Amino acid sequence: MEIHRLKPMKEGYDVNLFNQLYKETEQLRKTLTYQIDARRYGVTSDIILSWFDDKFIWVFNKYYGEVTPGQLKGRLINSLVTFKFRMLRKAYAESNIYANEINMLHLDDYDASIANIIPDKTEISSHDLFLEMALLYLKNNLCDDAFLVLELELNPPPYIMDRMSNPNTKIPANLIAEYLDLEPNKESISFINDLRKEIHYWVEEAKEHFA
């Protein structure tokens, strides 16, 4: 699922560190694989496991050199768990998220809602078309983990809504981490916050793109 996104490894990357982290997360990848019914994808478990390997490589290459080895391991673990969550949602979802009414209030945290990405003066009058175009733009530019968080912001599941004292406020990062089955620690919170920063960046880029 991720192989099409893989890029050449960063020049001079630490092969020993790669092998070390790969070995340390081996059992996690196997455990996550066992939690997914491969039959729903029409493949075998070894193919599912290879998808987690691809995800490992992508995340390592993305964050290597930008964070400490310890933080890199945390990013790998969080991304692998989030990837499993995304695969489960895709396999078991009965309908597409965009078939539901989208609550735009939760994008206030990014300074402007996606609904306001497109200027009012335009030849296209359909709000739904604007929204579809903006979401497609974001999906094409955000990493999968960030887009998953965006989906949760746009259409919070009952699990999150039931734990919000005010549904119109920002969803706490720790609640998102809890929903995604991430470890309740500072690294998970930092991971969610970094994904939100990525969302904010591409929302601003989308505003310029559609201006």
* Ramachandran quadrant class, 168 (left: phi over 0; alpha: psi -120 to 50; beta: rest): alpha
Looking at residue 6, what is its pLDDT? 66
Instruction: Answer whether residue 50 shows pLDDT above 50.
Output: yes
Which residues make beta-bridge pairs with 64? 67
User: What pLDDT does residue 41 have?
Assistant: 84
Is residue 29 helix, strand or coil? helix
Residue 4: pLDDT band by 50, 70, 90 thresholds? low
What is the mean predicted confidence (pLDDT) over 32-49? 89
pLDDT at 35: 87
Q: Is the pLDDT of residue 211 over 50?
A: yes
Burial class (CB in 10 A: 0-12, 13-18, 19+), 158: exposed
- Nearest in space to 115 (alpha carbons), one of 35, 83, 92, 126: 126
Q: Where are the domains of the chain?
A: 1-94, 97-211
Cβ neighbour number for residue 54 with a 10 Å cutoff: 17
Model confidence at 99: pLDDT above 50:
no
C-alpha 83: how far from its chain's center? 8
Angle at CA of residue 192, ends 188 and 193, nearest 5°: 115
Percent residues over pLDDT 70 in the chain: 77
Query: Which position has the token pair 């965009």?
Result: 98
pLDDT digits (tens, 9 = 90+) for 119-132: 444 444 455 666 77
Query: For residue 42, what are its two tokens?
Result: 């029409």
- Give pLDDT, residue 94: 38
For the residues 74-95, what does the mean pLDDT come to?
79
Q: Return mean pLDDT, the chain.
A: 80
Q: Please say if the pLDDT value at position 108 is more than 60.
A: no
More confident residue, 108 or 37: 37
| Furthest C-alpha separation in the chain | 56
DSSP per residue over 98-159, as a string? GGSPP-GGGGGGGTS-GGGTS-S--S---HHHHHHHHHHHHHHHS-HHHHHHHHHHHS--HH
Residue 137 is predicted with a pLDDT of 87
- Window from 105-114, 123-132, 157-166 with minimum mean pLDDT: 105-114
Q: Is the full-model pTM beyond 0.85? A: no
169-186 per-position pLDDT tens digit? 899 999 999 998 888 888
Average pLDDT estimate for 20-28: 95
Q: How confident is the model at residue 136, as a pLDDT? A: 86
pLDDT at 155 over 50: yes
Name which of 210, 204, 208, 177 is nearest 81 in CA terms. Answer: 177
